[in-house]
Chain A
Amino acid sequence: MNLVSYGFLGFLALVLALYYVVPRRFQWIFLLAASCVFYLSGGPVYLLYPLITTVTTWFLAGNMGRISAASKAHIKEQKLDREQKKAYQAVTKRKLRRRLVLGLLLNFGILAVLKFMNEAAAVGWILPLGISYYTFQSMGYLIDVSRGKYEPEPSLPRFALFVSFFPQMVSGPISRFDVLKKELFSEHPLDGQQLSFGLQRVLWGYFKKLVIADRLGPAVSMITSSPETYGGIYAILGMLGYTLQLYADFSGCMDIVLGVSQCMGIRLPENFNRPFGAESLAELWRRWHMTLTQWLREYIFFPVSTSRFSKWLSRFNKKAPVYAANITVWFVTGIWHGVTWRFVAWGLANGVVLMISQELTGWYRKFHKRFAFADSRGYGCFRKLRTGLLFSWLLSFQYYSFGMVFVMTGSMIAGSRIGQLFDGSFAALGLTGPDLAVLAVGILLMYLVSRLKESKDVRQILAEKPLAVRYAVIFSLFLLVLVTGTYGHGYDAGTFIYNRF
C-alpha cells in the first residue's frame, strides 16, 4: 500500500478511528494487526521477508540475552578470580559474536541478494517495501543487545511491531528499540491537539510530495536522463531540480510518516533538520536523513575506526583510522541507496569531499581569524549557498556516469546561456505556465515554513491564531494539494524515491 493512494487514506481513517476505540492496553496489538494488513495488501509474499527478519532477530537476540544472563550469573555464583572471569567473559563474548555474525549475515545477506538481483541483475524478484529500513533497524537492535546496551524483548509480537510499525516501515525513520518501545507500547489517550498537529503535518507532507516533487519529477527526469540533449543551463536546472525534488519527496514522505504516527500519539525521530541551512557538507549530512547517518556512525564508523585493522593503519598515519571508517561509511551509504557504480561513486565522492574539508579545517580557521567579513551574515548565506550547490553537484553522480559528471560540469560552467531557455526546448519539458507558478509558490512556501521553524514549530504558531486564520491557512493548503497536486488519472504519483532503497 502506497502512502499516496486513496487506499492508504481510507486505511488510515479506519485505523485512527479504531485505534482510539480499542482498550488502550490493546492499542499496540491493534497496531501490529494494522501493520500486518498494511504489508499484506501487497500480497502474502511481501510479509515473508519481514517475518524472517523478525523471527531470526528476535530469536538470536533472546538467545544472546540468555547467554549474557547465564554468564553474569555464573561469574557471580562461582566467585571466579580476575583471570578466570576474563577467560569466561571472552568465551561468552565469542558465543555472542557468533550469534551476532549469524544474524547479520542472514539478514544483510537477504538484503544484499534481493537488492543485487533486482537492481544489478534485474531479475525482477519481489523486493519487500522498505527492506533496507527494517533490516537496518533490526540489525541495530541485534548489535545493541550483543553489546548489552539493553535487554532483548521477550515478546515476539512486541518485537514484531517494532520491526513492522506501518508508517515507518516504508521509508524510515530508522528507530532504536530502547527509544521506540516507550512510544509504541505506552497507552495513548485521544489528544485533540496531537491529532490536529499530526494531520496538519500529513497535509504538509502531501503538499511537498504532490505539489512540488511530483510536478518537478518528469522534467527533471527528462533533463538528467538525456545529458546529450540537455546541457548548459538545462544541466544546472536539472541539478537544482533533482535536489529540490529529492528533498521535497523524501522530507514530504517523512512528514506524512511522522504526522501519521503523531496522530496516534507516537513520536518518531526526525529525519530532517533544515538541511539547506547548513554551512558545510558535514553539517548538511548531520541534518539530512539523520537516522541513517546516526546508524552508520554508531554501527559502522565507530566499530571500523576502533577495529584492529584501524589500529594497524594508525601506525602509518594518525588520521588513517578515521579516513578508513569514513570511506567505509560512504561506500555503504552509496550501496544502500542503489547497487550500481553510480551510487558507489556518489557515496565515495561525498566521502572524499568530506575528507578534503577535514584536511582544510586549519586553513578555514586561519581564514576566519584573518578576515572579519567571514563571520558576517552575508558570508554565512554564501556558505549555505555553496554547501547546497556542492551537495547538488555531488548528487549528479547518482544520475550521470562518472565521466559524464565532469563533462556536464564543464557544460554548466562554459555552455550556459539564458537564450537556451527560449529556443523552444523548455516547452518540451512539459512544465506549463501554471505549473511554473505553482512551483514558485510551493517552493516559496517551503522556504518560509523552513525559516519559521528556526524559532518555533509552525503548527504551534498557527494554534495560537484565531480560528478564522487557522481555517484559512489549513484549508488553503488543502485546496492547493487537492487542485494543484499531481495525482490521479494520468499521473504516476505514488512511489516515493526513498521507497526503493
Chain B
Amino acid sequence: MKNKRVICLLALIVLSVLILAGIQRLVLPKYMGLVVEGNFTAEYYEEETPHDVIFLGNCEVYENISPIVLWREFGITSYIRGNAQQLIAQSYYMLEDTLRYETPKAVVFNVAAMQQFDQDNESYNRMTLDGMRWSSSKWNAIRATEMEDEHMIEYIFPILRFHSRFRELEADDLTYYWRRGKVAHNGYYLRADVRPVGDLPAERRRSDYSFDDRSWEYLDRIRQLCEDKGIQLILMKAPSLYPAWYDQWETQIEDYADQYGLTYINCLEAADEIGIDFTTDTYDAGLHMNVYGAEKMSEYFGPILLQVPGVEDRRGTASEGNSHYKAGLSYDDVWREKCEFYDAMKASQEAEFAELGYIKQFYIQ
C-alpha cells in the first residue's frame, strides 16, 4: 500500500515536470522570424569540428565577417561567437565557455563593445545568454551583466520570464516546437539586401571619452585567458560608420595594443584598402555590412589570420579530436554542407531582393 502511494507520487512528480517542460518549450521565443539572433549562441554547440579562429563581439562581428568565405578562400576554420549588443563581459564568458570545447589558435575581439559596459535592453541579454549551455561561465555571465529587474531564477527557469507569451503564441511556436531551424553560418548573419549609406546622424560630443574601468578589466581578462591558453589575441574595429568611433577611443585601443604587443586592425580606416563600397556593401545604411561587404572583409582578413602560428589551410585534412569533437572527420565534408546552406540562402535572398526590393523575412511593414 505504501509502495503504491510512493509510486503514485513519483508518477505525479514526473508528470508535473513533463507538463512544465512542455509548456516552457512552447512559450520560449523561437527567433525564427524577423529576429533570428536569439539562436546564434546555441548553434555553436552543434558544431562537429573544432575551429582555428574564434571571433568575439557584437553585431559588428556577426554581420561583418563570413566564416564561409574564410574557409572557401583560405581553408580557415572559424566561428563567430557574437550576438546583438553582446557586452565585453559576455564575450569574456563566451570565450571561457568556448575553451571548454576547443582551444583555437586565434581569437579576434571587436573593440566596439568597449564603449558600453552595462546592458540597456534585457532582450539582448536573453538572446545572448539563453542559448549558452549551463556552466559556471553562463552563471557568471548572467551575474556580470544582468539588469536591475532581471533575476537568475528567470534564466534557470525561462518560463518565469516568457510565460506572458501565452498571449501572443503564433504558428512558429508550434512549427519549431521540437527543433528550430538553422539561421546562421558559423555565427554569421547573412543579409543580401542593399541599402546605401545616406545621411548619418551627427557625431555627439562627449564629456569623457575614457572607457569604463570595468571594460578594461574584462579586456585584460580576455587577454590573460588567451595568454594562458597560448592563443593569439587580435583586436579589430569593424567598418561600421555608425555609431561613431571616436579618435580618442582609437588612441586608447592603439596604446593598449602597443602595450601588450597585440595586433589591432581598424577596418574602418582600412575600408578603401578592403574595397568596401558603402553604396553597395551595407544593408542598413552603413551600420552593418551585407554579405558583399562581409565577403570583402573576410578576403581581407584571411591572409592576416594565416600569419598566426597554427592557423592553417585545413582543406583536404581531417579533424583532430578532443574530449568534445570526434577525430578524423573530413573538414571538406563538414564545410561542404555549410557552403551549400550559405549559397542557397544567399541566392534565395538575392532573388527575393531583386524581385521585391526587400527580403520578406526582415521586412517591417
Binding site for B on A (CB under 8 A): 6, 432, 434-435, 467, 471, 475, 479, 482-491
Interface bin, chain B: 20 to 34
Tell whether B34 is near chain A: CB-to-CB under 8 Å: no
Q: Which of these, A467, A483, A490, A491, contacts B166 with CB under 8 Å?
A: A483
Q: Are B167 and A488 in contact (CB under 8 A)?
A: no
Known contacts: A6-B153, A475-B16, A483-B27. The answer to whether A434 contacts B166 by CB under 8 A is yes
Q: How far is the CB of B285 from chain A (nearest CB, A)?
A: 30
Among B155-163, B254-262, B353-361, the stretch in contact with A: B155-163
**CA A479 – CA B15 in complex, angstroms?**
13
Closest CB pairs A-B (n = 8): A434-B167, A483-B163, A6-B153, A471-B12, A483-B166, A432-B167, A489-B161, A488-B160
Tell whether B99 is near chain A: CB-to-CB under 8 Å: no
Q: Which of these, A435, A482, A485, A488, contacts B154 with CB under 8 Å?
A: A488
Q: Are A479 and B23 in contact (CB under 8 A)?
A: yes
Chain B contact residues: helix, strand, loop or mixed: helix
**CA A475 – CA B149 in complex, angstroms?**
28
**CA A471 – CA B13 in complex, angstroms?**
10
Q: Which residues of A contact B153 (CB under 8 A)?
A: 6
Q: Which residues of A contact B161 (CB under 8 A)?
A: 488-489
Tell whether B327 is near chain A: CB-to-CB under 8 Å: no
Residue of A nearest to B169 (CB): A434
Q: Which residues of B contact A488 (CB under 8 A)?
A: 154, 160-161, 163-164
Q: Are A489 and B167 in contact (CB under 8 A)?
A: no
Tell whether B19 is near chain A: CB-to-CB under 8 Å: yes
**CA A486 – CA B151 in complex, angstroms?**
16
Q: Which residues of B contact A479 (CB under 8 A)?
A: 19-20, 23
Q: Are B164 and A491 in contact (CB under 8 A)?
A: yes
14 contacts between A and B (CB under 8 A): A434-B166, A435-B167, A471-B12, A479-B19, A482-B20, A484-B166, A486-B164, A488-B161, A488-B163, A488-B164, A489-B122, A489-B150, A490-B164, A491-B164
**CA A467 – CA B12 in complex, angstroms?**
10
**CA A482 – CA B154 in complex, angstroms?**
12
Q: Which residues of B contact A486 (CB under 8 A)?
A: 164
Q: Which residues of A contact B159 (CB under 8 A)?
A: 482-483
Tell whether B8 is near chain A: CB-to-CB under 8 Å: yes
**CA A490 – CA B166 in complex, angstroms?**
15
Q: Which residues of B contact A489 (CB under 8 A)?
A: 122, 149-150, 154, 161
Q: Which residues of A contact B149 (CB under 8 A)?
A: 489
Q: How far is the CB of A316 from chain B (nearest CB, A)?
A: 60
Q: Which residues of A contact B150 (CB under 8 A)?
A: 489
**CA A484 – CA B20 in complex, angstroms?**
13
Q: Which of these, A435, A467, A482, A485, contacts B8 with CB under 8 Å?
A: A467
Q: Are B23 and A483 in contact (CB under 8 A)?
A: yes
